[in-house]
Chain A
Amino acid sequence: MSEPTWLSKSPRPRISLTTTLGHKNLEDRHKPLRLDGSAKETLEQGRNRLVMAGVIFAFCFVILAGRLVGLAISGIGEDEATTADSDITLPVATEENKRAEIRDRNGVLLATTLTTASLFAEPKKVIDPKDLAAKLTTVLDDLSEATILSRLASARNFVWLKRNLTPSQQYQVNALGIPGLHFRSEEKRFYPMGALVSHVMGFTDVDNHGIAGVEKYFDAQLDGSEDNPSQDLTLSIDVRIQHALRDELSRHMSVFQAIGAAGMVMDVKTGEILGMVSLPDFDPNRPSDFSGDAKFNRITLGVYEMGSTFKTFTTAMALDSGTVGLKGGYDATEPIRKAGFRIRDDHPKKRWLSVPEIYMYSSNIGAAKMADEVGPKNHKAFLAKLGLLDKPSLEIPEIGAPILPPRWNSLETMTISFGHGLSVSPLQLSTGITAIVNGGAYINPTVVRRDDMKATPVRQVIREDTSGIMRRLMRLVVEKGTGGKAAANGYLVGGKTGTAEKAVGGRYKRDALISSFVSAFPMNDPRYVVFAMLDEPKGNAQTHGFRSAGWTAAPIIGRLISRIGPILSISPVNEESEAVQRAMFIPINSREKKLASF
């Protein structure tokens, strides 16, 4: 052993350069190495770098471990987001971003939005187009093989084969198992009732935005927005009434070969419209397949010279203003000649007629004289009160404004008194009749259900006792006058016929008629106003060639009321019973000489 150096006392092992240089003995190797100067610095640097690297690695591992723990506890990041979301929103799919449903007054579904599957193909991925076409036509029978093949032949990557499949069709297509066919889900507005409620409902475009009918009027409510969610809509329409109305109208339309028909049923007390049909109509499920004529709403948008039904207003006005009483009357022997026009009667009696006779026999001469006595100014004011001179208000956009005569003098008053020279929509006419029979209160019509069952009358049009007389006069028309075919046994129907020649190109066409009938029932306490109209009906053998309203439009009313009376829970009365007869009695005060033939 060599003598100990001062280095051997050091606690740190040292490298002794002397030992490495001179290998004197083995023990010398284990002696601490002694470093000095630059060698020591190098070693220190290496040590520091190692520590730094270690720290960085440790840091990374800590981050990794932390993330790992975090993931293990909270799951995958995306999951977290959805669960956090569902905490705030309502429990489960209650909020569906779908256009709201439309129902009828009894809750029958009229329009709903369904998620449907649309079938498309990727032509490049189709292995055997012919086989595909053959198989697909077995499932989708409205597609032909040729059209499928021509579509698959296109160079595009994406071709629609059929939009909006039914769930069973989708299932069947899936069952075929053809590669290259795919589905995309779409929203589709669906109208289960088809054409039945078409004109009231309207329809939507491909983006499910309403473009006609209540679909358009209530578009914002049905669609909803961020602040107010979409709300279901309940209409005043009753599909049972609507069906009966459409059924009778279409039957009579074909019997009399009319080019169109229209009808409506309206509640007298609330103004609710229970049925509104305009024929020809369309299927709102596929509106593009129908012509503009089919989409034309004859009830609200069409304005017509309504003919003798206007005599109801003329008579009510004369009786209410007191210019003539029930016992009074006018001479209807000779036609009136005025300013080159000749006003004559369709059913001439050629004698003095009392007011009830003028109304029941539908005398134009009598009505003209009656209105002339009231005067043009009062006449105009009265019709304005009945809402016949302004555009009516209803919850559909297709509303026609009436066509007023350019001047309103004595001649115009005379012609308007029997419904010529002023064009109004059937909606306006029915609403006016509602006011006449319900005690004289004008009520705004509506297609939305009124839950409070009481509408606020807008204004009083005629006195209540005048309304009572008008009811009995309307009953008289059906009982003894021109509207006999409108009788529905037990339901005390009353009404007025109206036959008008259509004005085409500024002159009246003799062979084109608008025959209409406006009625109310039961006449002892009117509940509903029923209107029916045929556009250009032709007479047949059963009507002895007649085309007038009493032969063509009145039977619709008769059949319809006996159909809808029980649905509307109107209890039938015995029309022959003394109490009913007394309630409906009205003195005719005829001056006809009964024994004139002797």
Chain B
Amino acid sequence: MKLNLTVLTLVLFAAVSYGLYQLSYEVQELEKDLKSLNVNIAENKESIRILKAEWTYQNRPDVLQALASKYLPLLLIAPYQVASVGEVPYPPVDPEQYSVPVPRYNPHRDYSPVDRAPTGPVQLATFTRTGSLQ
């Protein structure tokens, strides 16, 4: 009986210490991970800072202006090019086309969608370069 108790105590002691050590090692491993993650995050943040600075540097207005004047056929916006939505005319409607209702989608019929693009150039109802209304 006395022997059993001793053996039981020893086994229990061994088991508990094994568990304790295992837990401790696990925690240490996790802390190491945390540390390396923190270092990683700090490094990445620094990289982001540098990349942001680089991005801003590459997008300096004078650089963009030089590139735009080299590759884009854009000029200064003239007043006649600015209009509010209300001033934009509706596309011209062909009465023949829209007088007969055509089903939009019918698999039994030969149907091709109508080309809805307005005919001719889009006209803005604003004034021209010379100032007269179009």
Contacts and interface: CB of A to CB of B under 8 A. Distances in A.
Interface stretch (A15-23, A70-78, A465-473): A70-78
B60 A247 contact: no
B52 A109 contact: yes
A45 to B, nearest CB: 36
A208 interface: no
B77 interface: yes
Interface residues of A, number: 42
A573 B82 CA distance: 9
A92 B41 contact: yes
Contacts of A182: none
Nearest to B132: A576
A75 B53 CA distance: 41
A261 B79 CA distance: 28
Interface residues of B, number: 35
Given A93-B38, A190-B53, A243-B65, A75 B78 contact: no
A246 to B, nearest CB: 8
A244 to B, nearest CB: 8
A118 interface: no
B56 A109 contact: yes
A562 interface: yes
A83 interface: yes
A192 interface: yes
20 contacts: A72-B21, A74-B24, A75-B27, A75-B31, A79-B28, A83-B34, A92-B42, A112-B53, A192-B60, A194-B60, A239-B61, A240-B61, A243-B61, A489-B78, A490-B78, A490-B82, A491-B79, A571-B82, A572-B79, A576-B131
Contact of A114 (B31, B49, B84): B49
B62 A243 contact: yes
B98 interface: no
Given A167-B50, A192-B56, A490-B78, 18 more contacts: A72-B24, A75-B24, A79-B31, A86-B38, A109-B53, A109-B56, A114-B46, A114-B53, A192-B53, A192-B57, A193-B60, A194-B60, A240-B61, A242-B61, A247-B62, A490-B79, A571-B84, A577-B127
A80 to B, nearest CB: 9
Contacts of B76: 562-563
Contacts of B24: 72-75
A240 B68 CA distance: 14
Contacts of A108: 56
B76 to A, nearest CB: 6
Nearest to A489: B79
Contacts of B122: none
